[in-house]
Amino acid sequence: MEIEENSGSWVLGIETSGDAAGCAIGYIDGVEENSSVESSIAESAKIVSSEEIWEPQKHCENLIPLIKQMLNTLDVLEVNNSALNSADGAELKNFKPDLIAVNVGPGLYTGLRVGIATAMFLAYGWEIKCLPVSSLDLLAFQIHRQQFHRQQIQPLTQLPSQTNAQPSATTIVEAKHSSQIPAQSNNQTDALVMSVIDAKRGEVFYNIFDSPFSETEFLPAELKRGVAQPDELVGLIKNSTTESQATKNILCVGNGAVKYSDTFSSAGFEVRDSNEPLAETLIHFAAQTKNLKTQGTKNINTKTVEIETTDTKNGNIDVKNIIPLDPGELQPIYLRRPDIG
């Protein structure tokens, strides 16, 4: 990807890990080099277009027409925006993004593969790269983002226990006050976030996060990011939590959390009613990775650096160093062996 210094990137987000076929197009400004993760959460991206079509097992039918419709809209869009009026903007007739951020799972395999095959071959045709994002990371990031923006209004601890408000493009742009953002504190009232995705057959895919990009330390590494039955998972957490951690609230997000809300609620965890990964969150997630801006002056060699963005075994997901991949390198995250039937 060749992007001039300080120029931004157009990103296409593709989300098919659940029942929805989702697509979003957004613009990421050039991020200042030493902005912290916390401040750049607010920095985010400008979402130009974002839509989910909630129709189970219809990803193949719905996704590509949705993407085409969005690209067409962009082709005729007249926006008094410096980004859109830039050199890129002059060629909007042949609009193509600079990057595709795609949810690579875990999730429902069939839909997942539709999204990944789509991202792969769009990127191949456009000769651009793909940013693979795990659905578990994405969910945790999404809830952190929502809380972060709400924090501007009220403290996290006073949040209502359920919300279905999704940040719209407008509120995101309006909420951009990076200078006023307080650093995230590590006090005990902070909730741990557990992404829980329905894996069918009575199991869930899960991972637990301390902060947007940091997996918790308290689970043994080999038990992180896995697949388990909900009550197994609860037992696992209860056994692994230290006393101080036990005072932390565990906030469960995702369709698996909703499906097994009884199990998680009776364990004392908080369950968010509605929190499916959205395509636009993929673009905000992409905005966190500094490698999107491969300035000529930086020593970033995307060919030689290989970082398993989602296989981080211990500690932090180094989101700032997630490397966009060539489309052929995209692979779904299954977390389960194939059914031999």
Give the number of residues in contact with another protein, rule: CB under 8 A: 36
| Residue 340 contacts another protein per CB under 8 A | yes
> Residue 338 interacts with another protein (CB under 8 A)?
yes
Q: Which two tokens stand for residue 304?
A: 């030689």
**Stretch near another protein under the rule CB under 8 A, chosen from 115-123, 195-203, 216-224, 287-295:** 115-123
Check residue 126 for interaction with another protein (CB under 8 A).
yes
**Sheet hosting strand 99-103, strand order edge to edge:** 46-54, 20-28, 9-15, 99-103, 129-133
Contact status, residue 127 vs residue 100, Cβ threshold 8 Å? no
Selection from 7, 254, 260 nearest residue 106 by Cα: 254
- By beta-carbon proximity to another protein, the closer residue of 113 and 149 is 113
Query: Long-range pairs for 246-249 at CB < 8 Å and ≥24 separation?
Result: 247/188, 248/188, 248/189, 248/190, 248/191, 248/192, 249/189, 249/191, 249/192
Contact residue for another protein among 124, 177, 200, 221 (CB under 8 A): 124
Residue 54 near another protein by CB under 8 A: no
- Rounded to an integer, what distance in angstroms lies between the CA atom of residue 315 and that of residue 155? 26
User: What letter does residue 335 receive in the DSSP assignment?
Assistant: -
Stretch that binds another protein, among 62-70, 218-226, 231-239, 291-299 (CB under 8 A): 62-70
Q: How far apart are CA 100 and CA 24, in angstroms?
A: 10
Q: Name, in order, each residue with C-beta under 8 angstroms of 6's C-beta and a sequence gap of 6 or more.
A: 30
Q: For the window 67-106, what string marks contact with another protein as x by the rule CB under 8 A?
A: xx--x------------------------x----------
Stretch that binds another protein, among 179-187, 207-215, 302-310, 329-337 (CB under 8 A): 329-337
Kindly tell me which residue out of 125, 220, 268, 315 binds another protein, with binding defined by CB under 8 A: 125
* Cβ neighbours of 42 (radius 10 Å): 19
Q: Measured from the CB of residue 136, what is the shortest distance to another protein in angstroms? A: 20
Nearer to another protein, 18 or 327 (CB): 327
Q: Locate 175 and state its tokens.
A: 């909420």
* 117 touching another protein, by CB under 8 A: yes
- Interface segment toward another protein; rule CB under 8 A; list 61-69, 76-84, 194-202, 264-272: 61-69
Taking residue 110's Cβ as centre, other Cβ atoms within 10 Å add up to 11
Among the listed ranges 1-9, 111-119, 239-247, 305-313, the one in contact with another protein (CB under 8 A) is 111-119
Binding of another protein at residue 20 (CB under 8 A)? no
Binding mask 276-315 for another protein (x = CB under 8 A): ----------------------------------------
317 binds another protein (CB under 8 A): no
Distance CA 78, CA 60 (A): 30
What are the structure tokens assigned to 152, written together? 């501007």
Residues binding another protein (CB under 8 A): 59-65, 67-68, 71, 96, 109-110, 113-126, 327-328, 331-332, 334, 338-341
